[in-house]
Amino acid sequence: MSDPLVYLNGSLTPLSEAKIPVLDRGFIFGDGIYEVIPVYQRKMFRSDQHLARLFRSLTAIGITNPHSKEEWLSLIDQVMTAHEADDQMVYIQVTRGVAKRAHAFPKEATPTVFIMTNPIVLPSATAREQGVACVSMEDKRWLRCEIKSISLLGNVLAAENAAEHGVTESIQFRDGYLTEASSSNVWIVKNGVMAGPPKDNLILEGIRYGLIQELCAAQNIPLEARRITKEEVFAADEVMLSSATKEILAVVRIDEQTIGKGKPGPIYQQLFQAYQQAKAT
Ligand code: PDD
């Protein structure tokens, strides 16, 4: 579908015709938030959690939520239904709206609401079988990474760094401790114990973060949320990424160093299977 229908401020319109004014604060200041929801077989996966995070993001930056939960679900459903693909990625963007250029919040502005969907692009069979490579880099982003902000320059530069190295992600470290990758959360396994950085202002709490907690509990895999040093990441038996598009993905090399045995490990396999089951239910 080359020109899918998208939702913009009250109506469905072909993507090619969807336009916003140049004074939209999303364009001028990156003043907005977004959400990415995977859809499998035309059903949103973890929609409650994604909408709860959308609402948290809006509250965090002081935008009044323009819709009730039921309205959001109905708007997303309209965009989703109009698309031909069964498995999709729904993108929701909300900005503070259009106003005369001035940094502080405008007195009156109506949030801009944009919803589009694309066919989902999941990791290739090769990436699944062999795992992927990443590079490490210093986390140079701001200190409110828990907000799913559309101001993504730090993440864009980290993703570009990975692309230039021909790898999947940049894994970021702040002051020697693991934070997250350009657009995914990062996990390690050592001696059968899974660990991820704590949910704080230094990372985005992925919807898969909570899901991995649930899957680990159900599979009796011990899981710790704690600060993780760079040395621990390189010495881990397994390293994994999680995000809506990557689901759970094994990392087998960082920089020039092999991780664990250099192939997707047993905890990854277990969690990947559990994830596929969760999707199917
Ligand atoms: N990215 N951390 C960052 C910085 C992210 O951008 C993402 C998701 C995650 C994982 O969150 P979740 O499990 O909810 O997908 C962690 C999405 C996919 C994106 O920006 O396209």
pLDDT digit string (tens) for 244-278?
Answer: 999 999 999 999 999 999 999 999 999 999 999 99
Q: How far apart are CA 174 and CA 251, in angstroms?
A: 20
pLDDT digit string (tens) for 184-212?
Answer: 999 999 999 999 999 999 999 999 999 99
Residue nearest atom 2 of ligand 1, based on CA coordinates: 184
Task: Identify the domain containing residue 152 by its residue range.
Answer: 125-280
Query: What's the confidence (pLDDT) of residue 1?
Result: 65
Same domain, 69 and 142: no
pLDDT digit string (tens) for 23-63?
Answer: 999 999 999 999 999 999 999 999 999 999 999 999 999 99
pLDDT digit string (tens) for 135-150?
Answer: 999 999 999 999 999 9
**Measuring from each residue's beta carbon to the nearest atom of ligand 1, which residues come in under 6 Å?**
36, 155, 180, 183-185, 204, 206-208, 242-245
Same domain, 22 and 107: yes
Q: How far apart are CA 248 and CA 178, in angstroms?
A: 18
Question: Quick one: which atom of ligand 1 is closest to the CA of 207?
Answer: 14
Q: List CB contacts of 8: < 8 A, sequence separation 6 or more.
A: 18, 20, 112, 113, 114, 115
Query: What's the confidence (pLDDT) of residue 213?
Result: 98
Q: Which of 19, 43, 69, 148 is catalytic?
A: 148
Same domain, 148 and 260: yes
Question: Quick one: which atom of ligand 1 is closest to the CA of 180?
Answer: 2
pLDDT at 163 over 80: yes
* Residue that finishes a domain, picked among 84, 119, 154: 119
Give SS3 for 98: strand
Same domain, 109 and 136: no
Residue nearest atom 5 of ligand 1, based on CA coordinates: 183
Query: What's the confidence (pLDDT) of residue 2?
Result: 82
Query: Which CATH number characterizes residue 241's domain?
Result: 3.20.10.10
Q: How far apart are CA 87 and CA 39, in angstroms?
A: 5
pLDDT digit string (tens) for 64-106?
Answer: 999 999 999 999 999 999 999 999 999 999 999 999 999 999 9
Same domain, 100 and 163: no
Q: List CB contacts of 77: < 8 A, sequence separation 6 or more.
A: none
* Residue that finishes a domain, picked among 92, 119, 146: 119
Question: What are 119's strand-pairing partners?
Answer: 88
Please tell me the total count of domains within the chain.
Answer: 2
Told to judge if 246 belongs to the known catalytic residues of this protein, a careful annotator would answer no
Q: How far apart are CA 225 and CA 203, in angstroms?
A: 12
* Residue that finishes a domain, picked among 119, 138, 168: 119
Count of C-beta atoms within a 10 Å radius of residue 146: 17
pLDDT at 118 over 70: yes
Q: Probe ligand 1: pick from 33, 34, 35, 36, max atoms within 8 Å of CB?
A: 36
Region label for 5, one of left (φ > 0), alpha (ψ between -120 and 50) or beta (otherwise): beta
Q: How far apart are CA 226 and CA 72, in angstroms?
A: 34
Question: Quick one: which atom of ligand 1 is closest to the CA of 208?
Answer: 13
Mean pLDDT across the stretch 149-169? 98
Distance from Cα 149 to the centre of ligand 1, integer Å: 11
Q: Probe ligand 1: pick from 54, 157, 243, 248, max atoms within 8 Å of CB?
A: 243
The DSSP annotation for 180-221 comes to EESSSEEEEEETTEEEE--SSTTS---HHHHHHHHHHHHHT-
pLDDT digit string (tens) for 1-32?
Answer: 689 999 999 999 999 999 999 999 999 999 99
